[in-house]
A and B are shown apart, each in its own frame.
Chain A
Amino acid sequence: MKKIKIIFLKELKDTLRDKRTIMAMVVVPLLIYPVMITIVTGIIKSQTKESMNKTLKVAVFDAGEAENLIDLYQDASLIEVNQFETYPQLDSIYLSGDTLAFSLEINTLIRDHKLDAALIVKPGFDQKIDSLKAGHIALYYQSTTDQGITKQRLMMLVNMYKEKILKERYKIAGLNPEFVEVVHIEDHDVATQKEKMGEVIGGLIPYFFIIFCLLGSMYPAIDLGAGEKERGTIETILTAPATRLQILMGKLGVILLGGIGSASISIIGILIAVQTVDVIPSNILSVIESILALKSIALILLLLVPLAIFFGASLFSISIYAKSYKEAQSMISPAMIIVFLPAMIGMLPGIHFNYTTALIPILNVTLATKQIIADTIDPVLFAETMLSLLVLAGLALWLAINWYGKESNVLRA
């Protein structure tokens, strides 16, 4: 144990002095959440504000009909209504009755941001309204430019008009509004805010934990395996009075610490984000707070221990086989897909945590973490996940011990 400790402390010091490792193990996981949350919430906030305060350029083709509706638009603030005269070419197409060419022309004007929307009152609108029928309106807009805020603003005025006409019609028919609205629905969603958000962003967070656990293990694994070969220090350490197992355990200790440390640092990153970013929406904040609960952190870390052993031992086995740092990197890169794939599958909706998925490594970590965040973790499934990960970690460790014991691997040059 003493020799393992000596080797561990030396390897730790050596690793912590490597800038590449520090970037991957500490800086990136510490900053990714604050940066990501600041950027995402900042963009959403500024886009929403901009879309709400923007003066909309709306082309209205009313053919002299729907006067009351058009008045609503003309009286509304931040809406610039252009009736015919602004777009003469459109006017002539519209009047010629070529609907396809007209529609294409409007599409182009909106896509080129010359117009924000177009409202076309179909012929016979007034007559239909007067005869208690439905008048037709076509609304052109581009939802991708502002998350549908333009449509919301325009529809709000149409709805006001509809409400007004409806009231008049109820009066004419001598009806109560309840005559039409047959059923009153009280909406009770039993899913908590945590669960809803856990389902949405809860899938993303374990994905990052897994990535940081992998990246945090990867650089020390490459450096302490292939890096040692490349620097020619492998002979030096092999002639020191320590067994191969002691050397391996000392190195694996650092790799393991790198994986768990990196994932843990990302939790600190989330904490920093909460403290420093003041624009986090309340529903996202509630999920973040549930991740930062002691119970959640403890359970997530418990999952990460066997996962980090698996990553560390597997990566070190590859690394010690490689002849150089570069070769180890090129061998490990495709292996990362094996990790990313189940982690990504776990983010998909409809993939449930059950007795089968709890046995699939990495996927089970993603699904279990989602449930931990939502505070709905099933203890039996959690135990099954732990067992599956421990078996996997044990196999990876066994492989690493055998692999490091083989002189054809250790001295492969």
Chain B
Amino acid sequence: MIEVQNLSKSFKLSRAQRKERATTNKNLFAVNNISFTCQPGRVFSLIGPNGAGKTTTLRIIATILKPTNGSVRVNGYDVVDHPIEVKMKLGFLTGSTGLYDRLTPNEIVEYFARLHDVDQATMKRKRNELFDLLDIHEFAKQRIGKLSTGMRQKVSIARTMIHDPDVVVFDEPTAGLDVITASNIIDLVKDCRKNGKTVIYSTHIMGEVELLSDDIAIIDKGKIHMLSTFDAFKQHMQSSSLVEEFIRIIKSVEA
């Protein structure tokens, strides 16, 4: 479970950044007093335009950034006080794969398994399962730098799931991927939900939101402007499609 309570995050603006944004404020609130909860066995979609605060929120949940105010708890652990316990339970997947070019899929998956204290026998079994599922075996000994984007994203999935995390954070995981590779990610998200994991999913692609969401939050300018179950959201939509409804909400915020 992920519990976000009154979360805020501000960044200091340099003189050049203040000039660029035509503001005198020395701090910029990327996330401003937001609260929501992600339940196990459900997919929580966090959607919003570029610069809305999605990645900042996900980075705080993943302990990469520290909140300025408020709190985030992952499976009961506070991200500031117990970051290691949080990381042990968490998987983090982005669209930019984040893999080491000079290592092989075998080595990368083993490296992250060891960092997560997965014992050798479990690691081998789990790695085999994931490599079977994702068809990685044939390129398991090739260096990442020589693999295609699709192959790399498969390895990235295996790296994220090797320690069987309870909570999985997806930050625009299909950005720039072809349809087949993206479908691997969609399948993974569905599997996570089926296996009772807590999933938070950030995307720009409304088709994915429609396909995956159990709960939804629309965020813009650091604030959440809509938070509900996906079913309730669809029932109360004032537009004919999800894309139009998303644009309507964002425009009303800007107005």
Binding site for B on A (CB under 8 A): 3, 6-7, 10, 13-14, 17-18, 231-236, 238-243, 407-408, 411
**Considering residues A14, A233, A235, A411, which has the most beta carbons from chain B within 10 angstroms of its beta carbon?**
A235
Docked-complex contact B98 and A241, CB < 8 angstroms: no
Whether A235 and B64, one on each chain, are in contact in the complex, defined by CB atoms closer than 8 angstroms, is yes
B96-116 residues at the A interface, CB under 8 angstroms = 96-103, 107, 111-112, 114-116
Q: Mark B79-90, 1 if CB is under 8 A from A, else 0.
A: 000011001101
Q: A18-B102, A231-B101, A408-B12 are in contact. Are A239 and B62 (CB under 8 A)?
A: yes
Cβ contact within 8 Å between B115 and A240: yes
Contacts A10-B111, A241-B117, A408-B11 known; 20 new A-B pairs at CB < 8 A: A6-B111, A10-B107, A13-B102, A13-B107, A14-B103, A231-B101, A233-B98, A233-B99, A235-B92, A235-B94, A235-B98, A236-B159, A238-B63, A239-B62, A239-B64, A239-B90, A240-B112, A240-B116, A243-B83, A407-B65
> Is the C-beta of B193 less than 8 angstroms from some C-beta in chain A?
no
List 27 A–B pairs whose Cβ atoms lie within 8 Å, in order of A's numbering. Answer: A6-B111, A10-B100, A10-B107, A13-B103, A13-B107, A18-B102, A231-B100, A232-B94, A232-B97, A233-B99, A235-B62, A236-B92, A238-B62, A239-B62, A239-B64, A240-B87, A240-B112, A240-B116, A241-B87, A241-B117, A242-B87, A242-B115, A243-B83, A407-B64, A407-B65, A408-B11, A411-B64
Collect the chain A residues with CB atoms within 8 Å of residue B84's CB.
Answer: 241-243
Nearest A residue to B95, CB-CB: A232
Check if B190 is an interface residue, CB within 8 A of chain A. no
Q: Name, among A3, A17, A239, the residue most crowded by chain B CB atoms within 10 Å (CB to CB).
A: A239
B102 and A14 within 8 A (CB): yes
CB distance from B165 to the nearest CB of A (A): 10
| Interface members, chain B 150-165 (any A CB < 8 Å) | 159
The answer, yes or no, to whether B18 is at the interface (CB within 8 Å) is no
Min CB–CB distance A246 → chain B (angstroms): 9
Q: A241–B116 contact, CB under 8 A?
A: yes
The yes or no answer to B204 lying at the interface (CB within 8 A) is no
Interface centre among A18, A238, A408 (most CB of B within 10 A): A238
Q: How far is the CA of A105 from the CA of B62 in the complex (A)?
A: 84
Which B residues are in CB contact (< 8 Å) with A242? 84, 87, 115
CB distance from B197 to the nearest CB of A (A): 16
Check A3–B103 contact: CB distance below 8 A: no
CA distance A238 to B61 in the complex (A): 12
A7: which B residues are within 8 A, CB to CB? Answer: 115
Q: Given A239-B92, A240-B112, A240-B115, check contact A232 B98 (CB 8 Å).
A: yes
**Cβ of B59: which chain A residues have Cβ within 8 Å of it?**
235
Task: Give the 10 A-B CB pairs with smallest separation, nearest first.
Answer: A236-B98, A241-B87, A17-B102, A239-B92, A232-B96, A240-B115, A239-B62, A238-B64, A241-B88, A233-B98
Contacts of B117 in A (CB 8 A): 241
CA–CA, A242 and B116, complex, Å: 9
- Shortest A238–chain B CB gap in Å is 5
Q: How far apart sit A3 and B114, CA to CA, in the bound complex (Å)?
A: 8
A241, B92: Cα distance in complex, Å: 12
Q: Is there a chain A Cβ closer than 8 Å to B66's Cβ? A: yes
Q: How far is the CA of A234 from the CA of B59 in the complex (A)?
A: 12
Residue of B nearest to A407 (CB): B65
Residues of A within 8 A of B87 (CB): 239-242
Task: Report the minimum CB–CB distance from A226 to chain B (whole Å).
Answer: 15
